[in-house]
Each structure stands twice: as structure tokens, then as C-alpha cells.
Amino acid sequence: MTDAPRTIEISPVTRVEGHGKVTIHLDKDGQVDEARLHIVEFRGFERFIQGRLLWEVPVIVQRLCGICPVSHHLAAAKAMDVICGVDELPPTAEKMRRLMHYGQVMQSHVLHFFHLAAPDLLFGFDAPAAQRNIFEVLRQKPELGRRAILMRKFGQDIIEATAGKKIHGTAAIPGGINHNLPLDTRDAFLKTVAEMRDWAQDALALARDYTLSHTELVGGFANFPSKYLSLVREADGALDLYHGNLRMIDAEGAAIFDQLPYDQYHAKLTEDVRAWSYMKFPFITDIGPDDGWYRVGPLARMNTVSLIDTPLANAARDELMATAEGAKMHPILANHWARMIEVVHCVEKIDELLHDPDLQGTDLKATGDRREEGIGVIEAPRGNLIHHYRVDENDQVTFCNLIVSTTHNNEGMNRAVKDVAVAQISGQPEITEGMLNQVEVAIRAYDPCLSCATHALGQMPLEVELLDAEGQTLDERARAT
């Protein structure tokens, strides 16, 4: 080991969406001094959208991401509802959008759990890199792999039926939806939804059993308290992925603000900018940037909500929360359990909606008095998603602000990186691939979408660099992208 300060880079971080880089600064004694997740893409979407017509926005803004385009489609459509003076959609329109959203969250969570996280969970964080991949998972557990693909297909088919296309649908329009769900399509989904519910419960059991059988690992891995933010249902604080008011709680569960209409988000949240990352750092304005950071996402939602309005998922949440050491669950690896609870919830909601005749209604769109500004918020797979627009008298967008889930989690991800780096790397004579993977596991637990979180020009190589205080490369690792 050199006695000079060093910097380790993990670039890009793997098995997340988009490209990021981790730098770990070691002091002369080999102790971690600082660790940061850098976002190395710049997208400029908030500027790109300016000048586009309001009715185009729900379609165009999906180009932000090929992974959760439905989230952007719906958040933008909700904002445009407001601009079109529509505060309440016809039941058919809202339920079609909800069905689309539940299909989206289900397929996104399934993809992450089975294909991106499973190699770490099944083989261990320190397993040889050649083993720690999806092909090895499928070789050892082919039925798991087949189910995962069919569950994801079910969610994708729900999206296609409701949004018009699997990717970049057009169905949600300002003030409503452009079609309902035909009976033959509904009947096709009804034939398989029970099997999906069974498989979702099996996946939930897998995530639950992993967490409970690795209590020491889960409890000691990037387990730190934080504040949490999500939408909750207005009436009872229940989990609502599509609509509701904002609830922010502290680490013990006390409300910092509750049932805040989401069009007032900017009164409570401020976005900080730091020179070393293209991703902003939101914080609670009244508390300030140092202590006002918070987290969003599946585990955050389990912490913020009062209940889940579907029986299987609610029982599963009760069990999850009963394992918390304090009032709330903080270990980031518990996100996997939370994610699978949400898969069960989504399948339950899909089943419920498929039995609702409103999906075949013909009142698809509402109208109202035009406004200049609109804010739409949903709970995307990765957490809270805010779309905010202003338009001029020609219906052209003059202002756009997006706070995506991964941006909300920026400080949390950075703290997780440092927490794991300190635990794994400080004072070690040699930095191994397994140690670096543990840092990546911490980031992956958030299922971040770095493409969305920046606003990609160019492609980044995958490399890990160890630099001394003068910036000289001492060691280097590379992975294929």
C-alpha cells in the first residue's frame, strides 16, 4: 500500500440503468476519506422540451427513458390535465391510467429483482464476477428465469393494451385517455392474472426469506436512518402509486409534512447543485442541505404509508415493518423485499381493475378552463416523480422542471456508497473486485435510473481506477458495458 492519499474509481457502475462513476478517496493511512457517486451523463431534457406543444409533452417526455417511459408519460399527462383545467378524470380514464401504471411498476420491479439483483443475492457479493451474472442464475434456476420473463411479459402486455404500445405509448392525453379496454383483451388477462398473483407471492417469499436469513448482512450493510418521501392516499394515508398527497416523515416516523398537495412541492423542496455531478441534490428547504436530504422508492413507501389497500400486500408490509429495529425500516437491502411487496400489490390492483366495468366505459376525456401551469406527480417504480410545466398562450412549453426518483435518492446513494466503502475498503491492503462490487450492490439496491436522473451524450467506458494524490493511476480495472 502506498502511503500517499489515493482515489479509487468505479466507472461506470454496472447493472444499473445509465452510466455513473464512483470515486473513493483514501487518505495516506488507507482510510476512506470521501466517496461519491458521480453522474457522468448530461441530457438537457428540461431545455429540450421547451417550445414543444403541450399535447406533445406526454409522448415526447417518455424519450427520457426506455425503462420506465410509462412513468414519465403519466406524470406529464397529469401535469397537462391541470393545464387543461381538468382536476378529475372520467373514471374510465383514471382506471385505464392506473392499470397502465400497475403493469409498469410490476414489470420494472420483476426485471430488477430477477435479472439485476438476483446474481448478488443468490451467489453472494464476493462471488467470482464470472459467476455473478444472470446466465448463471438461469443455469441454476431456469424455472425462476422463465417465470421472471413471463411476469415481465404480463406487465408489458398490460402496458401495450392500455398505452397503445409497450414503449412510448400515446394513450394518456391531456384530460383523459384515448381508448378503453376491449372485453376480449380484458378476458385474456383474466385467464393469467391468478397465476401471476401466485408467482408474485413466490417472488415475495424469496425476497423475504433472503432478508430474514441474512439478518446480519442486511442489518450491517448500508443501514442508516433517513427521512422518507412518497405520495399517500388522501383519505387514509394508504399506498397509492398513481395519485395522492405528499407525506415526508423523519427516521422515527414523525411527519415533517403530511397530506401536502403535490402542486406545493416547491414550497417544501429545494434542489442543490454540486460541481462534481450532473445530478441535483434535493433537500427539505426548512431543514437545509446538510440534514434535509431524504429517500424515496419501494422501502421509503413502506415506511411512509399507513397501510396498503390490498390484503396480500398489506399483510406482507406488516411483516416487513415488524422486523424493523426501530419505528421504521432503514437497511437498503430491504428494498428488495419492499419491491416484491409492491409486485404483489400491483397484481392485486390489476386483478381488481380487470373486474371493474368502468374500464369499458366510453366517457374518456374531460375538459376545463385553461391554466398556465401544471404539476403532475406519481410514484414511479424507483420512487416519487415530479413533472412541472408552464405553457404560453400558444400552448408551447416555456418552463419544465423534473425531479426523478433517482435524483431524490442522490444523497442517499452517496451516503450508501460511503458507508459501504468505509466498511469494506478502509485500511485494506488490497482492493479486490468483490469489495468494489459491494459498493455497486449498495447503489443497485436503489435500482437507480441514471439516464433519467440527468437531463446521454456519448458513451462511457467501464473502468475502475486507483489514483494517487497526484492523480497518477496506481491500479485499473475494466468491465464490458
Partner 1 sequence: MIRLIGYGNPGRGDDGLGPALAARMADVPHVLVTSDYQLTVDHALLIAEADQVIFADALLRSDAPFEFGPVTPSTSHDVTSHSLSPQAVLALCTTLYGRAPLAFVLGITGQEFGEVKEGLCPQARTNLSLAEAFLRDWLAQTGSPVGGLAHA
Would you say 60 or 173 has its CB closer to partner 1? 60
Q: What residue has cell string 464476477? A: 129
Looking at the Cβ atoms of 116 and 422, the one nearer to partner 1 is 116
> Cβ contacts of residue 14 below 8 Å, gap of 6+?
440, 462, 479, 481
In this chain, which of 72, 78, 115, 247 binds partner 1, going by CB under 8 A? 115
Our finding on whether 146 is near partner 1 (CB under 8 A) is yes
CB of 454 to partner 1, least distance (A): 12
Minimum Å gap between C-beta 245 and partner 1 is: 31
Give 20 or 175: the residue with its C-beta nearer to partner 1. 20
Q: Which of residues 53 and 235 has its CB atom nearest to partner 1 in the complex?
A: 53
Residue 378 φ then ψ, to 5°: -135, 170
Of 131 and 259, which has the nearer Cβ to partner 1? 131
Rounded to the nearest angstrom, the gap between the alpha carbon of residue 348 and the centroid of all alpha carbons in its chain is: 20
CB of 41 to partner 1, least distance (A): 12
**Minimum CB distance to partner 1, residue 165 (Å):** 9
**Contacting partner 1 within 341-360 (CB under 8 A):** none
CB count, 10 Å around CB of 395?
16
Rounded Cα–Cα distance for residues 352 and 371 (Å): 34
Least gap, CB of 127 to partner 1 (angstroms): 13
Q: Are 243 and 378 in contact (CB under 8 A)?
A: yes
With beta carbons less than 8 A apart as the criterion, state whether 97 and 77 touch: yes
Q: Judged by CB under 8 A, which of 6, 8, 11, 14 binds partner 1?
A: 14
Closest listed residue to residue 284, CA positions, set 356, 226, 369, 354: 226
Q: Does 257 bind partner 1 (CB under 8 A)?
A: no
DSSP 220: H
Site for partner 1 in 16-35 (CB under 8 A): 16-18
464 binds partner 1 (CB under 8 A): no
Sign of the four-CA dihedral 310, 195, 334, 101: negative
Is there a contact between 80 and 174 (Cβ–Cβ < 8 Å)? yes
What are the b/e assignments for 158-188, b being 16+ CB within 10 Å?
bbbbbbbebebbebbbbbbbeebbeeebbee
Q: Label the pairing between strands 172-173 and 269-272.
A: unpaired
Task: Spell out, one character per residue from 44 to 63, where the chain touches partner 1: x when CB under 8 A holds, - when not.
Answer: xx--x-----------x--x
The cell for 325 is 429495529
Letters for 150-189 (x = contact with partner 1 by CB under 8 A, - = none) are x-xx--x---------xxx---------------------
- From the list 6, 7, 8, 15, which residue makes contact with partner 1 (rule: CB under 8 A)? 15
Grid cell locating 177: 385517455
Torsion of CA 465, 42, 222, 425, to 10 degrees: 10
Output 150 or 287, the one with its CB closest to partner 1: 150
Nearest distance in Å: CB 48, partner 1 = 5
Residue 62 vs 407, nearer CB to partner 1: 62
Name the burial class of residue 319, with classes exposed (0-12), middle (13-18) and buried (19+) by CB atoms within 10 angstroms of its CB: middle
Compute the least distance from the CB of residue 210 to partner 1, in Å. 20
State which residue, 1 or 462, has the beta carbon closest to partner 1.
462
**String marking each residue 119-138 x if it binds partner 1 according to CB under 8 A:** --------------xxx--x
Residue 85 or 434 with smaller CB distance to partner 1: 434
Name, in order, each residue with C-beta under 8 angstroms of 246's C-beta and a sequence gap of 6 or more: 229, 230, 231, 232, 257, 259, 260, 261, 262, 265, 268, 377, 384
State the residues that interact with partner 1 by CB under 8 A: 14-18, 43-45, 48, 60, 63, 66-67, 69, 111, 115-116, 133-135, 138-139, 142, 145-146, 148-150, 152-153, 156, 166-168, 457-458, 462, 479-481
